[in-house]
Amino acid sequence: MKLVKKILKYVALYLVSLSAITTIVYLFYLFYPLKTLHLDKKQWRPAEPETQNIDKLRLTQALDYVDTRLPTARSLLMLRNGKLLAVGSRVST
């Protein structure tokens, strides 16, 4: 009988701990939400690289380097001063 009481005591302690941890995690995410950056809500205006003091030839070389040497890169978005300079492997024109 003592063994059963001891087991029930540990089960109850486990369930109380589990519910307390779940509540703490829920409250943490409720009061401290993740700060996410949504780029799709803003429309970036395309600009020539020269207007942002970037050499177009060097930018093209950098994009070629990313395409050839970084095969795991899915995409590239280059912004400067709120202007879109390059997307993927293309230079904005």
**Cβ burial, residue 66 (10 Å; 0-12/13-18/19+):** middle
pLDDT digits (tens, 9 = 90+) for 1-11: 889 999 999 99
The mean per-residue pLDDT over the stretch 8-34 comes to 90
| pLDDT surpassing 60 at residue 93 | no
Long-range contacts of 53-57 (CB under 8 A, 24+ apart): 54/80, 54/85, 56/91
Is residue 47 scored above 60 in pLDDT? yes
Spatial CA neighbour of 73 closest among 83, 87, 57? 87
**In the predicted structure, residue 76 carries a pLDDT above the cut 90:** no
Integer CA distances (angstroms), 1 to 6, 14, 54, 79, in order: 9, 20, 81, 71
What confidence category does residue 72 fall into, taking pLDDT thresholds of 50, 70 and 90? Answer: confident
- Average pLDDT of the residues in 83-88: 80
